[in-house]
Amino acid sequence: MGRLFGTNGVRGVVNRDFTVEMAQGLAASAGSILGKEMAVGRDARISSPMVRDAVVSGLLSVGCDVHDMGALPTPTLQYMVKSLGLDGGVMVTASHNPPQFNGIKVMAADGVEISRATEDRIEELYFKGGPEAAPWNMVGHVRDVDVVETYIEAVVSQVDRKLVSSRGLKVALDTGNGVSCLVTPRVASRLGAGVYTVNAELDGSFPGRGSEPTPENLGALRDLIEATGADLGVGLDGDGDRSIIMDEKGEAVWGDKSLSLIADWYLGRHPGETVVTSISTSKGLEDVVNRRGGRVHWVRVGSVDVSRAMVENGYLLGGEENGGIMYGPHHPVRDGAMVMALLLQILAERRRPLSELIAEQPIYSKAKDKVECPNELKEEVLRKLPGLVEGLDVDTMDGVKLTNSDGSWVLIRPSGTEPVCRLYAEARDKATVMAIIDEYKDRLGRLIAGLQ
Ligand code: MG
């Protein structure tokens, strides 16, 4: 991970950690490395027009032409970079972070977030003082482009519009005052669904329920489902890439399970395919994929790693346990509107309530916890962890993941942003998973204390 680029782009509190000068400088460096034709978009944060102008200015100053796509979800910009054949794009957003944050996500010509190697190149150039500015008569041009309609049709074309329309399905949406309200309700109504919304006004202070959907803050969506009899509920994050699903009873469905459901449907049509996911995802996904004759390709935690593994290997489905799902036949990035369209397709085909389809997924219990760990000790902790256990299957792709013979597992990863080590565990039942968490929290705590 670089000095500025985190798990997904550069983010910080506006005018403190993330300034217009940084936005301009990083955009100039990105533009000079990625190419001449660049897309720019923004979310609905209060500071986003300011940051957008800085990004546009940085790109123009190095001779890039800017296709300004205005306010739109990140996956809309990503799809359009690829379909218009541009050289790259910059999205002004801090995703699900609180309103005082902003940042940028940078896309390559394939419409996927740039690789870690390209992030490093951009940072290096930025810290060396940036690229040379273009002569006065070579600065770029900017044009406004309206792309939302093209994108909506592209999403809708991935499912059977006639079939979905014929079912009279109802969808409840909580767009969290973010930019997905410009797209997701229109995709649902284009598919003939009845659409009901809450927190659907653009508001950069995110007054509704904050910009990150969690099972705890989706009470308004639950009420909306109950009041309207909706078949499906979707809560989206601030830039529309991540989503939490709710069934017709108002039960939140974690990302693992919506991914398993979509994987089961997809592999039913394309047997033997490979699904990409990060090592924190439930083993339930692997059970479903194996049952369909497919294979899981595990990668490090982070959506960029999932997307890049899909692109490099030509795999067409990927996802993360936090509710980001990548549907490659459309575009291999997380996309909340695409996930909603796929779920409508699945409901239309199977003709059964979502709660029943979810109940058929493998049942595992998951738990998460953390232990304080000074940043300077993290590497030493990682080196010593495998030595604490014997006879276990140890995976060191990202942190340390230990798998027991009964399939239960624990993953210990140092946080990239906080002085803590995180623990994730999964087992067949709640009692076992809590026992695993308690045991490893204790072992980890003693290991860290012994190093201080
Ligand atoms: Mg997001």
The CA–CA distances, whole Å, from 52 to 61, 96, 142, 400 equal: 14, 18, 12, 39
Residues, CB-to-ion distance under 5 Å, ligand 1? 95, 237, 239, 241-242
Q: How far is the centre of ligand 1, averaged over its atoms, from the C-alpha of 94 (Å)?
A: 7
At 254 the pLDDT is 86
Instruction: Name the band, by pLDDT with cuts 50, 70 and 90, for residue 109.
Output: very high
With a cut of 80, say whether residue 141 has pLDDT above it: yes
Q: How far is the centre of ligand 1, averaged over its atoms, from the C-alpha of 8 (Å)?
A: 9
At 211 the pLDDT is 94
- Per-residue pLDDT tens for 56-78? 999 999 999 999 999 999 999 99
Q: How far is the centre of ligand 1, averaged over its atoms, from the C-alpha of 432 (Å)?
A: 33
Q: How far is the centre of ligand 1, averaged over its atoms, from the C-alpha of 211 (Å)?
A: 9
Q: How far is the centre of ligand 1, averaged over its atoms, from the C-alpha of 75 (Å)?
A: 9
Does the annotation count 95 as an active-site position? yes
Q: How far apart, in whole angstroms, are the C-alpha atoms of residue 41 and residue 18?
A: 17
At 391 the pLDDT is 62
With a cut of 60, say whether residue 1 has pLDDT above it: no
Helices (H), 172-302: 184-190, 219-228, 255-269, 283-291
Q: How far is the centre of ligand 1, averaged over its atoms, from the C-alpha of 392 (Å)?
A: 36
Instruction: Name the band, by pLDDT with cuts 50, 70 and 90, for residue 3.
Output: confident
pTM for the model stands at 0.94
At 153 the pLDDT is 98
With a cut of 80, say whether residue 320 has pLDDT above it: yes
Which has the higher per-residue pLDDT, 322 or 220? 220
Instruction: Please report the beta strands in 274-334, taking only residues with DSSP state E, as ranges in sequence order.
Output: 274-278, 295-299, 317-319, 325-327, 331-334
With a cut of 80, say whether residue 177 has pLDDT above it: yes
Q: Which long-range contacts (CB under 8 A, 24 or more apart) does 270-276 make?
A: 270/316, 273/315, 273/316, 273/317, 274/313, 274/315, 275/315, 275/317, 275/318, 275/319, 276/306, 276/309, 276/310, 276/313, 276/315, 276/317, 276/318, 276/319, 276/326
Q: How far is the centre of ligand 1, averaged over its atoms, from the C-alpha of 335 (Å)?
A: 9
Count the neighbouring beta carbons within 10 Å of the beta carbon of residue 298: 18
With a cut of 70, say whether residue 2 has pLDDT above it: no
Q: What percent of the chain has pLDDT over 70?
A: 98
Pairing of strands 317-319, 274-278: parallel
Per-residue exposure over 51-75, b if at least 16 CB sit within 10 Å of its own CB, e if not: bbbbbbbbbbbbbbbbbbbbbbbbb
Instruction: Name the band, by pLDDT with cuts 50, 70 and 90, for residue 215.
Output: confident
At 396 the pLDDT is 87
Biggest distance spanned by C-alpha atoms of the chain = 69
At 43 the pLDDT is 98
The CA angle 439-440-442, to the nearest 5 degrees, is 70
- Per-residue pLDDT tens for 371-401? 999 989 988 988 888 777 666 788 888 889 9
At 394 the pLDDT is 86
- Per-residue pLDDT tens for 160-170? 999 999 999 99
The CA angle 142-145-148, to the nearest 5 degrees, is 150
- Per-residue pLDDT tens for 343-370? 999 999 999 999 999 999 998 999 999 9
> 95, 211, 258, 303: which is the annotated catalytic residue?
95
Mean pLDDT of the chain: 95
Instruction: Write down the residue that tokens 């090592």 correspond to.
Output: 279
With a cut of 60, say whether residue 136 has pLDDT above it: yes
